[in-house]
Structure formats: C-alpha cells, structure tokens
Structure 1
Amino acid sequence: MHLNPYGEYAVTLAADLANRPPDSTGELVDRCVDAGIVVDFPVTDDDLADVLGMLDRWSAIADATSDEDRAEQVNLLLTKASAYPRLTNHAGDGWHLHYRDDQQSLAGVLEALFSVGTALHLVGRGMHRLGRCALEECTAIYADTSRNGRQRYCSPKCANRDAVRRHRAR
C-alpha cells in the first residue's frame, strides 16, 4: 500500500509545472506520466488551459505572506478540487488514497492532487516550506523538502549566485 502519494511529490510537480509551464497538452501529459501520474482517462486540449489557470491559483499559495493567508489559499483550492478520500488500486500497483472523484479531467486530477499534496506538505513539514526564490531576479517557486527546512532558493545555482553577490558587496 502506498502510504502517501500526495505531499512531497505533488508539491514538487506543481512547482515544476508553475516554473516551466507546458507548451502543449502532449508535453503536460508526458511530464505528468514522468512524475508517476497514471493517466488512464481521456485528455483534451482544454486540460492545458485549465491546468495553467489552476497553476496561477496554486502559485498564490507560494506568494502568501502569512500562515493564515497561505492556509486560506490552500483551502480555496481544496474546496474546489477535492472529494472525500477513497481507497483505490486503479493502476494495479498498490492500494492508495485518492482525494478526487473518479472520471475527472487531467486538470481536475491535478487540482485535487496539488491542493491535497500542498496541504499535506505544509502541515507535515511547516507552513513556511513553500515560496519564491530569494534571489532578487528569480521568480521560481520552490517546495522545501530539505532536512533542516531552511531552503530559500529554488536551486543551488541561485543560492551560489546570491552568495557570490553578498561576498562581493562586502
């Protein structure tokens, strides 16, 4: 049985898609499949536009300036996206929980996955563990899955660039 397919993997996929939005429905499907999402339902071109809109709403969680605001943004997504949890073995690879209704669109599946996954990530690891890169010219979103919970940059490249800048300023 999968303990939790939501949380870390869902929030890192959401951040990846928000940072590098897919250009086509095919690319969206490929990236979802590469991330381990079973796409065993029809996908249409409407899914791409719906996912891009949902990612804008999801990005508001990363931009929240307080725990209360962040929780409010997550709750807005949860209200729209999730259903009562249910056990499933739809792919034949082990029992796990779904927080969505069956027969949804890819956009609906991702919205449920990202809203529940983000909620689990934030309450399980800390409300501060999602944000925008601290490098002034970078706007990428990061999901902090580090051991110490002090991530401030989207990548080591940005962290190093900022460290060099601070060093030279001294």
Structure 2
Amino acid sequence: MQLNPYGEYAVLLASSLANHWPSDRDGIEERTREVGMSMPFPRLPDDHAQVRSVIDDWLAVVDAPSDLERAQLLNTQLASAAAYPRLVDHDNEGWHLHYRDDGQSMPQVLRSVICTGTALHLTTRGMHRLHRCEASPCTNVVVDVTRNGRQRYCSVRCANRAAVRRHRARA
C-alpha cells in the first residue's frame, strides 16, 4: 500500500527537471511519464517557460538557508497551487488522492504536485533531505531518499570526486 504517492516521485521529478532542464515541452512531458504521471496535459504555448518558473520557485525552497524559511516559501507556494485533497480514479490507477483541481495546465499541475510532494517528503523524511550536491563545483539538487538520511552527493561520480579531493588534500 502506498500512502504517499506524491512525496518521492514528485521531488525526484523536480530535481530531474532542475538538474537537466529539457529543451522543449515534450521533454518535460516525457519526464512526467517516466515518474508515472499518466494524465494528459492540454498543450499551451507557454508551457515550457511556465514550468521553468515552477522549477525556479522550487529551487528557492531547496536553497532556503533555514528550515523556517524553507517552510515559509513552501507554504506560500502550496497556498497558490494546491487544492483540497480529493479522491479520484482514472486511467486504471485505482482510487488515490489528488491535491489539485481538474482541467489544469501542465505548469499548474506540476506546481501543485511538486509543492505537495516536497512538503510530504520534508515532513516525513526530514527537512534536511533536500539540498545541493556537496561536491564542488556541482550544483545539482540532491533528494535524499536513503535509509540513513545522509546522502551528500547527487551521484557516485560526485562522491568519488570528493573522496579523491579529500585524499589528495591529506597527502
């Protein structure tokens, strides 16, 4: 039973878009499919730019200097994006909760899903589990979904690079 379908996949989608921005709207939609979103999105001319704005707003949450500021930014975004939770059954997915209104555009849906997912991720896993990669000069977003909650790097490559730098600094 999956009680929190928004948390992990929504935050991983946001970090994927932030770390590797697609060149067009179809690339964004492809990423939504990769994480399991099956709903169709109406095609609007400014979808690509509007989703970029959603991701930029989300990055402000990632980069917030304190838990309190992170919560305040996220609460502001939630207030502008999320609707009351509602039970839905579509696309043979079974009954589940949506935190958005029906008939919204791609940017509106992604803002709602990403904000709600981020709030669930941070409150269930910990406010420290969303940050930038610690391997300079990398600036990728790290969504920590590890068991121990100590993920510092966005990839094995960055972790190895940091380890080599520490080793060379000691030598």
Normalised TM-score (structure 1): 0.96
User: Which shifted more, 85-94 or 32-41?
Assistant: 32-41
Tell me the residue number matched to 1:16.
Answer: 16
Q: Secondary structure at the match of 1:61?
A: helix
Q: How far apart are 1:33 and its partner, in Å?
A: 1.2
| 1:7 and 2:7 correspond | yes
In 2, Cα distance between equivalents of 1:45 and 1:138:
32
Tell me the residue number matched to 1:76.
Answer: 76
Tell me the residue number matched to 2:143.
Answer: 143
Q: How far apart are 1:54 and its partner, in Å?
A: 0.8
Structure 1 contact 2–94 (Cα < 8 Å) conserved? no
- Written as runs of structure 1 = structure 2, the 5 A alignment for 1:4-83 is 4-83=4-83
In 1, Cα distance between equivalents of 2:42 and 2:56:
23
User: Which shifted more, 21-30 or 115-124?
Assistant: 21-30
Tell me the residue number matched to 1:153.
Answer: 153
User: Which shifted more, 33-42 or 147-156?
Assistant: 33-42
Tell me the residue number matched to 1:98.
Answer: 98
Q: How far apart are 1:2 and its partner, in Å?
A: 4.8
Q: Which runs of 4+ in 1 moved over 6 A?
A: none
In 2, Cα distance between equivalents of 1:92 and 1:4:
18
- Superposed CA deviations along residues 37-87 of structure 1, whole A, max 9, x for unmatched, are 123241223111110011000001110111101101111210111000000
Tell me the residue number matched to 2:169.
Answer: 169
In 1, Cα distance between equivalents of 2:100 and 2:93:
18
- Written as runs of structure 1 = structure 2, the 5 A alignment for 1:116-127 is 116-127=116-127
In 2, Cα distance between equivalents of 1:134 and 1:30:
29
Percent identical across equivalent pairs? 55
Structure 1 contact 4–97 (Cα < 8 Å) conserved? no
In 1, Cα distance between equivalents of 2:128 and 2:56:
19
Normalised TM-score (structure 2): 0.96
Q: How far apart are 1:123 and its partner, in Å?
A: 0.3
Q: Secondary structure at the match of 2:131?
A: strand
